[in-house]
Amino acid sequence: MFAGRYEYGIDDKNRISIPSKFRETLSIQYDMRLILTNLDSCIVAYPYQEWLNIQERIEKLGAISKEAREFLRFFYSGVSECAIDRLGRILIPQSLKTYAQIKKNVTIVGMNKKIEIWAQEKWEELVQKATSNLEQMVNIVSDLGL
C-alpha cells in the first residue's frame, strides 16, 4: 500500500526520485516497473501488476458508452512504461510533464495501490479546495466511514 506525501524536484532530464518507502513497497509487493498515465490533472503511476488488473477490468466491461471510449483514448494515450533506475528515479515523459503542468517541484502522493505525481502548485490548490469547506469534509469522512 502506498501512503504519504513527499516533495521533490524534477531534474533537467525530467527525472524524479521515487520515495524510498514507495520503492520498498514496489520491491516487496511488485516488480519495480511502473506504468505512468494522465489522470485528474496529475500523473498517475501504477505498479505493473495493478495496471494489468485495470486492463482486465476494462476488457470485461464489454460495450461501453461513447464518453467512456473517449476517456479511455485519453487515458491510454498517456501510457508510458518506466523502470526505476539504480538511484531510485523514473523518467517523466515530456507529454505527461506538460499535461500535469510540472515545472520544477512535485508532490508525490501515495494513494493505496497507485502513486500520484502532482505539480506542487496544483497540489497546493487541491489541498486548499479539499479543506476549505469543513462541513463538506465532515460529511465525506462520515460517508467513507473514517
DSSP 54: H
The total number of structural domains that make up the chain: 1
pLDDT mean across residues, the chain? 93
Report the CATH number that the domain containing residue 82 is assigned in CATH.
Answer: 3.40.1550.20
Q: Which domain holds residue 34?
A: 2-143
Q: How far is 59 from 73, CA to CA, in rounded Å?
A: 14
The DSSP letter of residue 145 is T
pLDDT digits (tens, 9 = 90+) for 87-115: 999 999 999 999 999 999 999 999 999 99
pLDDT in tens, 69-82: 999 999 999 999 99
pLDDT at 117: 98
Q: Does the pLDDT value for residue 31 go beyond 90?
A: no
Place of cell 523514473: 90
pLDDT classification of 123: cutoffs 50, 70, 90: very high
| Residue 84 Cα distances to 54, 100, 132, angstroms | 21, 20, 36
CA distance 65 to 89: 38
